[in-house]
Copies of this chain bind each other. A is one copy, B any other.
Amino acid sequence: MTLYYSVLIIGGGLIGSSVARAIKQNNLAERIYMADSSEEACRVLRTLDIADGVDTDFNPFIGTADLVVLATPPGIMKQIGPTVVQAMKTGAVLTDVGSIKYDLVKQFETFMRSDLHFIPGHPIAGTENSGPAAGFGELFEERWCILTPPENTDETEIARLTELWEKMGSQVALMDARRHDIVLATTSHVPHLIAYTLVGTAIDMETVTANDVVKYSAGGFRDFTRIAASDPEMWRDVFLQNKEGVLEVVDRFIEDLSALKRAIRWDNGETLMEHFSKTRDIRRRIIDAGQDTDKPDFGRE
């Protein structure tokens, strides 16, 4: 039996189109509809044949949807939020796949209807590629999905949405929205900001031509360029909307980097050694937890 009769996914990029594929592959809804404001994205989505209806406008589908999934960049979610909420049918569930939860909850609370179920979500999955064609149905397998339902959310609906993610292959965790944001600032947002920064620094290095950076990138740098190739619009929104969490972690990072810089300047090998030995252990734990492969270089070919 399917979990929802009709699902509407707004935003057909990497994540939105992967959700559609995963729902279809696992037979979790009778009807899947997709809306994306880009004509070109809609054209691609239609050729992919993962939805029963695709349109640049969500209005034709929203009135009958049991589950609405917001999968646009975070900035767009805020813009369309009031219209989406107003058009949904009584008893339906509204969720999203955005990387920031507290800012979204704060915004949506101002116009949320009491006859809807609002359960924000965040699948910790993705690749550096974007757009409808980049998605795939297995993207969420063995990945975490964090749900941050406000207090007093209907338990049955939380359980149903949890089951949806589990059937798409994820493990689900429930978490307070603020806590989510500080955890993600550490494990995702700041790593992305740092990767973007370093790649920019390398490009700007006057003494190093861009060609040398490309040529000798295998020494570590190329890993950063993968992260820094992620969707710019989405990440701009992430940094602006999780400002507090990001700035806190960045400040700590700069303090720590300054301490290591000082150790280098003063030839303090012991401090470096102590620091570097400590960080090695966490890699083992990530591999043991099934969150990465232990093949050298990620098993790159």
Contact = CB atoms under 8 A, between A and B. Distances in A.
A108 interface: no
Interface stretch (A28-36, A44-52, A153-161, A218-226): A218-226
A300 B292 contact: yes
A119 interface: no
Contact of A282 (B127, B203, B218): B203
Interface string A189-214: 01111111111111111011010111
A294 to B, nearest CB: 9
A216 B144 contact: yes
A184 interface: yes
A79 interface: no
A106 B257 CA distance: 28
**Which of A184, A254, A292, A301 has the most CB atoms of chain B within a 10 A radius of its CB?**
A292
Nearest to A187: B221
Nearest to A219: B188
Contact of A283 (B229, B264, B275, B279): B229
The 3 closest A-B pairs by CB, nearest first: A188-B219, A127-B296, A232-B276
9 contacts: A128-B297, A183-B213, A193-B260, A197-B256, A199-B279, A200-B275, A213-B282, A254-B254, A295-B301
Given A257-B194, A283-B228, A252 B218 contact: no
Interface of chain A, main secondary structure: helix
A188 B236 contact: no
Given A216-B183, A221-B191, A264-B243, A200 B279 contact: yes
A89 B276 CA distance: 39
Given A218-B291, A299-B298, A283 B247 contact: no
A89 to B, nearest CB: 33
Contact of A198 (B194, B215, B286): B194
Interface string A261-301: 10011010100110111111011111001011101111111
A203 B252 CA distance: 11
Contact of A214 (B236, B237, B291): B291
Interface string A233-262: 101110110010011011011101110110
B223 A256 contact: no
Nearest to A195: B220
A125 interface: yes
Contact of A265 (B228, B243, B276): B243
B204 A256 contact: yes
